[in-house]
Amino acid sequence: MPDSFEEIRVISQPKAWAILIVLSAAIIAWGLWVYSIIPNTPRVHNYGALNDAPGQSIYSTDATPTGGTDVPAQIQLPPEAKSLNSTPPPSTTAPGGQP
């Protein structure tokens, strides 16, 4: 019976390290090559006025254009809703119930 079988081949430690280093260098070189080949594109982060329910988006970078371009209501207000423009009449009595 032979001392070593064909399936069990031992690679010397320096050769194993060399294979590992060459494989790692090849992957790094490929990544650097791809990085140098793909051009940078100009980035534009100005998306304009983005509508948001129920009003203008707070993430907009441009001012809302003037001239009657209000955002339409996207949902119907419930009947019990109070208008934001109406304020209650001022109280005629002082705190504590004294006029």
pLDDT at 79: 77
The pLDDT of residue 9: 77
| pLDDT tens, residue by residue, 5-58 | 777 778 899 999 999 999 999 999 999 999 999 998 888 877 776 666 544 556
**Beta-carbon contacts of residue 19 (< 8 Å; ≥ 6 apart):** 11
Report yes or no: 66 and 49 within 8 Å, Cβ to Cβ.
Answer: no
Q: Is the pLDDT of residue 71 over 90?
A: no
> What pLDDT was estimated at residue 34?
96
Mean local confidence (pLDDT), 66-81: 70
pLDDT at 45: 79
Cβ neighbours of residue 60 closer than 8 Å, sequence gap 6 or more: 47, 48, 49, 50
pLDDT value for 67: 61
